[in-house]
Amino acid sequence: MFRNTATAEAGEIEQGDSHGDHADLVPMSHLSLDLPAPTAGWQAELERRGIVVVLDDLGRQAVSRGDARRLFDEHREMEMRRQEVAQRIELAAIEKDRAFRAQLWTGIPADLMPPGAAPAAVMLQLDKDAQPRRQSVLQEALSHDSGLTFHSLAPTPDGDAS
């Protein structure tokens, strides 16, 4: 369509130049599209890391392809670490929830409810029945061979009657 040979020759010359030092440069605009911007800004972050910013053949700020690859690799590793930490936190939360749910009282099964009884009354009675009871002297004597436990009614030197 356009057969201007002067333009084609100039384009070929510019392409020939771009295959030199400028071929291994990555424009900063490409980095900012693919990587999140540092909080201090790209210039400050690159200076802190010792990465040289140069102008490419079009006059754009650019960094070497190796430095850009290193930035991408570091970002990828950081994302992997962030995902691992998030996964560990999630697993810990799931385990904590399981432990919490295991401690919850499950209630009374419906088949244990006597007909016509109020659920609250049944729950209170089951709770009362679950509390340890004092054994009679006969029950204690029959339950183990170590003898009887003496419970004095007289006050102790502390002033406490146990």
pLDDT digits (tens, 9 = 90+) for 21-35: 667 888 988 888 888
Tell whether 68 and 139 lie within a shared domain. Answer: no
Burial of 18 (0-12, 13-18, 19+ CB in 10 A): middle
Tell whether 33 and 76 lie within a shared domain. Answer: yes
Does position 37 have pLDDT exceeding 50, yes or no?
yes
Tell whether 87 and 64 lie within a shared domain. Answer: yes
Tell whether 84 and 28 lie within a shared domain. Answer: yes
Give the helix/strand (H/E) hosting 91.
helix 65-103
| pLDDT classification of 12: cutoffs 50, 70, 90 | very low
Strands, sheet with 25-27, edge to edge from the N-terminal-most edge strand: 25-27, 61-64, 54-55
Q: Which of 79, 101, 123 is the last residue of a domain?
A: 101
Tell whether 128 and 72 lie within a shared domain. Answer: no
- Per residue in 101-116, pLDDT tens? 999 878 778 887 888 8
Please tell me the total count of domains within the chain. 2
Tell whether 66 and 17 lie within a shared domain. Answer: yes
Report whether 43 contacts 14 (CB < 8 A): no
Residue 118 lies in a domain: yes
- Per residue in 68-90, pLDDT tens? 999 999 999 999 999 999 999 99
Average pLDDT over all residues of the chain = 80
Domain span holding position 115: 110-143
- Which residues have CB under 8 Å from 43's CB, separation 6+? 53
Residue 56 lies in a domain: yes
Tell whether 94 and 42 lie within a shared domain. Answer: yes
